[in-house]
């Protein structure tokens, strides 16, 4: 695996483990919504799992269509950086894309089951990255719903920032369900 991808995958692993531990530390409160229309910690975990599953599927599809992938330029870089800044802004919340909401069941399974499913999905991501063609490193391969096309490294950066964004959400949920 490319060193840059390996480093990002390690960051993603650490962020994911921290998020899972935070959700698991809530015990039964992990399934308690902090308010009407708000996700529980378990639903946040499930959302991230559904999201990563979709990213894997998209990457696999696009790798098969490698000839048609465009080279990433300055615009891709700038949009990727803006996405990173926005995801890390503590005061911003984002609407979940409708297609992702449709794929996410309302009731989350038990956290141990989600952890196991996520481990399987993550191993698939690792396999994709291990087999990732070097000639595609500078090509735009993943279409983010808001920032557009991203390279594989930018996709992993987004995935890390996405988990960190939801880590903050779980911390807010923790404070609200303890009251």
Taking only the tens place, the pLDDT of each residue in 76-116 is: 888 888 788 878 877 767 777 777 777 777 788 999 999 99
Q: What is the pLDDT of residues 22-63, one digit of tens each?
A: 999 999 999 999 888 888 999 999 999 999 999 999 999 999
153/158 Cα distance (integer angstroms): 9
What is the biggest distance separating any 2 CA atoms in the chain, rounded to whole angstroms? Answer: 55
How many Cα atoms sit within 13 Å of 39 on the Cβ side? 23
How many other β-carbons are positioned within 10 Å of the β-carbon of residue 3? 7
CA distances from 138 to 70, 109, 112, 144, 157 (A): 9, 38, 37, 16, 14
User: Which pair of tokens denotes residue 39?
Assistant: 């996700």
The residue ranges of every structural domain in the chain are 3-177
- Identify the helix (H) or strand (E) that includes residue 149: strand 148-150
63/152 Cα distance (integer angstroms): 11
pTM beyond 0.75: yes
Q: What percent of the chain has pLDDT over 90?
A: 63
152/6 Cα distance (integer angstroms): 11
Q: Is 27 left (phi over 0), alpha (psi -120 to 50) or beta?
A: left
Quick one: CATH architecture of 3-177? Answer: Up-down Bundle (1.20)
150/127 Cα distance (integer angstroms): 19
27 close to 19: Cβ distance less than 8 angstroms: no
User: Which pair of tokens denotes residue 144?
Assistant: 């983010």
């Amino acid at each position: 695996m490319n060193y840059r991808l390996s480093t990002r995958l390690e960051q993603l692993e650490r962020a994911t483990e921290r998020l899972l531990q935070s959700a698991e530390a809530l015990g039964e409160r992990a399934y308690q919504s902090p308010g009407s229309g708000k996700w529980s910690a378990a639903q946040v975990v499930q959302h991230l799992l559904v999201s990563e599953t979709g990213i894997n599927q998209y990457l696999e599809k696009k790798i098969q269509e490698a000839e048609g992938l465009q080279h990433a330029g300055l615009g891709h870089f700038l949009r990727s950086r803006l996405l990173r800044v926005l995801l890390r802004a503590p005061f911003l919340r984002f609407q979940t894309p409708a297609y992702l909401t449709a794929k996410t069941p309302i009731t989350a399974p038990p956290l141990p089951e989600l952890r196991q499913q996520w481990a399987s999905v993550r191993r698939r991501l690792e396999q994709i990255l291990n087999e990732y063609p070097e000639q595609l490193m500078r090509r735009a391969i993943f279409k983010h719903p808001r920032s557009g096309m991203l390279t594989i490294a930018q996709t992993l950066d987004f995935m890390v920032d996405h988990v960190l964004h939801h880590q903050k959400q779980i911390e807010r949920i923790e404070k609200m369900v303890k009251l």
